[in-house]
Amino acid sequence: MKTKILKTATSVILASAFIVGETALPHQSFQANAAEVAATSVVKAPSVYIAPIDRAKFLAGSKFDFRVELNDLNSDPGAVTITVNGKDAASFFGKSLVKTSTSTSREFMVRDVTIKQAGTYTVSVKAGSLSKTVKYEVVDVDPVGKKAKNVILFVGDGMSFPSVTIARIMSKGLTEGKYNGLLEMDKFDQRAVVTTSGMDSLVTDSANSASAYNTGHKSAVNGLGIYPDNTEDSLDDPRVETLAEMLKRTRGMSIGVVSTSEIEDATPAAVVSHTRRRSDKPEIAEMLYKLQPEVVLGGGSAYFLPKSTPGSKRKDEKDIIGQFEKAGYSFVENATQMKAAKTNKLLGLFHTGDMNVYYDRSTNNKDALQTFTNQPNLWDMTQKAIDVLSQNENGFFLMVEGASIDKQLHALDWERASYDTIEFDKAIGVARKFADINNDTLIIVTADHSHSASIAGTYWEGDGKSGREAVRTYEAAKFPTYVDANKDGFPDNPDPDRKLAVVFGAAPDHYEDYKFDKVPTSPTINSDGVYVANPATLANPEDPNRERFHRTGTINPAGDSQGVHTADDVPLMAYGPGSSYFQGTMDNTEVFFGMANSLGLSLTGAKPDRKAWVSLDDFLKAVGGTSKYNGTSKTTTITANGKTIVLNHATGKATKSGKPVNLEFKIVQSKTIVTSDSLIKTLATN
């Protein structure tokens, strides 16, 4: 099955002169190196670093690595004490801390530990005059409420609030100010706003933010499933367990990873990975194999192919595709093969790099596709993933990424980004149908970060004006004239006579003629180390008056070749069991705890029963009943509907009028909970 990928890999990689997105750009490496050089010239004061960091939140029983660093030392700090809630750390964790040192640092590390009891924990470090204290919160999931069997997390990479609006306008249109329809994600009742900053930066990257969703912990820019440390090795940093690892370890659930990017890229990698450097893509491919998600669908075959294979980007002869096949996976490399596959383990790699965007795939734009002309769309990938994963009676966790929303917004190609947003939304529709049939699946739709695209009005050349002068605002904007004649949800033409005028707030110098690019094109070119506007983005690159289309950027031309992320909050929509957790303004790490809560995920040995547990007091308040607890007899007396019921907490038995009744109840976190069905039945019977 590898034949086509192997034959076409070399030509496609060589032909790909332009790559958009967040992946390892040369100027990013230059900036990092320059920062490192500058840092070495500054004398830093000695400091204490503790990982996990202050205010870290843990699911009780989850695994993590614990590390303390004394950095930038100018003398021996003397004796070091490390305690957790006043107890020596080694005794607390039941493992000795491994000690290392350099001429200016001391390190103390213990791997693979857990905290099993919910509560607040204080970590204190003292070394001579140095000291630091951090606090941790350890929580159990709330047993109240119906629990989900499956969770599907949709991540629209870079999908800000304006991205959703743009896609809705282009897909559904408006009549006299009212939308003619809504996107699938618009129809989710439960909504929240998510903040996205990482532990080291106001503005995040996709690795850091996707890691927060998958672990419940903050990380640093470029980090996946780790807290950063002071070593150069990107693979030895303190790890935190991912949701997928927890579910495999304790539940036997199936895992799916679906993306239109390289499957080793930041967001899909966050499901399985532990590395300080998101560009460790050969190693991330191996991490995918180590966890073995039952479904892996996306691009990025170059990191699965042995070095000797044309097109490979590996530096060794490991055949990762072959390893998957030996482990029982069916391997597919195009849409036809994917649809035909009958299997319970599926690996699909449809491009050596990122998959092409929806517009180019759907129009068979061979200038963009090269030889990869049979790539599946995202909703078919989602359907296939659900078909495979739902074979597991234990349930599944599926992450689906619409990756090129972000990658095209980096390139300021908002039209292609919008087509990919609509494709992403249609995949959400597929999941919604499954959830409605089975009534046991939580669906979450969110973004990892935002971009600065915004709608200023419309663009219209009907009166002879063009360029900036043809951007219409307020009442002159009227409404765009996108047409969807075939009713497939996508506009037939991205360049109607009156189109959206989308502007960018965080962009490099570029040309903007408001015309759709025939192929994805970089907004800049490098000219003597400075990024300048690329005339190839113009409909007529040789236009002698092209400077009228020139837009002065807002970011550093010596360092940024594309549009950049912003720190704006992002939307979240949720549907299904556990969706009520998602409300108000949430930190991105809380998305993890919402998913764990919906699954009733206990990592301390308790088995999920998926019963509809409710708070006894809340239930009685709703029906006009009361309860009274007797500490001496350890009983709770319920009065409701003219009935008296006694719960004996010592025996776990319930009686009504002195006769045993089948009422399910228990105390969790000092709160009495009951199954609503059993209480209703007990109250209804004589």
566, part of any domain: no
pLDDT value at residue 613: 84
Q: How far is C-alpha 313 from the chain's CA centre?
A: 25
Same domain membership, residue 283 and residue 252: yes
Instruction: Tell me the helices (H) and strands (E) count for the chain, helix number first.
Output: 18, 38
E strands within 61-220?
64-71, 80-84, 87-88, 98-102, 105-113, 119-127, 130-139, 150-156, 174-175, 178-179, 190-195
Q: Which of 160, 206, 211, 561 is catalytic?
A: 206
Per-residue confidence (pLDDT) for residue 491, from 0 to 100: 98
Query: Residue 399 falls within a domain, yes or no?
Result: yes
Same domain assignment for residues 303 and 210 = yes
Kindly report the CATH number assigned to the domain that includes residue 381. Answer: 3.40.720.10
Q: How many domains does the chain have?
A: 4
What CA–CA distance (Å, rounded) separates 288 from 236?
17
Domain contains 96: yes
* CB-CB contact of 652 with 667 (8 Å): no
* Burial of residue 295, with CB atoms counted within 10 A of its CB: 0-12 exposed, 13-18 middle, 19 or more buried: buried
Claim to verify: residue 465 and residue 537 sit in the same structural domain:
yes
Residue 595 inside a domain? The answer is: no
Q: Is 383 domain-assigned?
A: yes
Q: What is the pLDDT of residue 18?
A: 39
Q: Do 374 and 439 fall into the same domain?
A: yes
410 annotated as ligand-binding = yes
Structure tokens at 569: 């909050």
* Measured distance CA(524)–CA(502) in Å, rounded: 18
> What is the three-class DSSP state of 387?
helix
Question: What domain range includes position 655?
Answer: 613-684
The annotation status of 267 as a binding-site residue, yes or no, is yes
- Please say whether the beta carbons of 123 and 136 come within 8 A: yes
Find how far residue 118's CA is from the centre of its chain. Answer: 26
**Cα–Cα distance for residue pair 365/519, rounded to 1 Å:** 8
Low-confidence stretches of the chain (pLDDT < 50) are: 1-21, 23-39
pLDDT tens, 198-250? Answer: 999 999 999 999 999 999 999 999 999 999 999 999 999 999 999 999 999 99
> What single-letter amino acid sits at 89?
A
Q: Domain check: are 413 and 496 in the same one?
A: no
Domain termination site, one of 452, 468, 494: 452
123 and 252 co-located in one domain? no
Is 274 marked as a binding-site residue? no
Query: What's the pLDDT score for residue 682?
Result: 87
Q: Is 449 annotated as a binding residue?
A: yes
Quote the pLDDT of residue 607. Answer: 65
Report the pLDDT value the prediction gives residue 40, as an integer from 0 to 100: 52
**Residue 588 within a domain:** no
Task: Collect all residues with Cβ–Cβ distance below 8 Å to 420 and sequence separation of at least 6.
Answer: 260, 357, 358, 359, 402, 403, 404, 405, 408
Query: Is the domain of 279 the same as that of 213?
Result: yes
**3 state DSSP class of 228:** coil
Q: Are residues 479 and 330 in the same domain?
A: no
Among 412, 432, 452, the domain-final residue is 452
CB contact at 8 A, 649 and 657? no
How far apart are alpha carbons 323 and 338 in whole angstroms? 19
Alpha carbons 184 and 386: distance in angstroms, whole number:
18
649 has binding-site annotation: no
Domain co-membership, 340 together with 481: no
Element (H or E) spanning 37, and its range?
helix 26-40
Residue 197 is assigned to a structural domain of this protein:
no
Is 27 marked as a binding-site residue? no
Catalytic, 580? Answer no
Find how far residue 310's CA is from the centre of its chain: 32
Any known ligand binding at 217? Answer: no
Statement to judge: residues 355 and 446 lie in one domain: yes
Residue 4 belongs to some domain of the structure? no
Q: Residue 607: how many CB atoms within 10 A of its CB?
A: 8
Per-residue pLDDT tens digits for 117-149: 999 999 999 999 999 999 999 999 988 888 999
Instruction: CATH number of the domain at 638, please.
Output: 3.30.457.10
Residues in the chain: 686
Kindly state whether residues 410 and 538 are assigned to the same domain.
no
Q: What is the DSSP string of 236-247?
A: SSPBB--HHHHH
- Asked whether residue 249 falls in the same domain as residue 358, the answer is yes
How many C-beta atoms surround the C-beta of residue 402 within 10 A?
Answer: 31
- What is d(CA 422, CA 484) in angstroms, rounded to the nearest whole number? 13
**Domain final position from 411, 433, 452:** 452
- CATH label of the domain that carries residue 114: 2.60.40.10
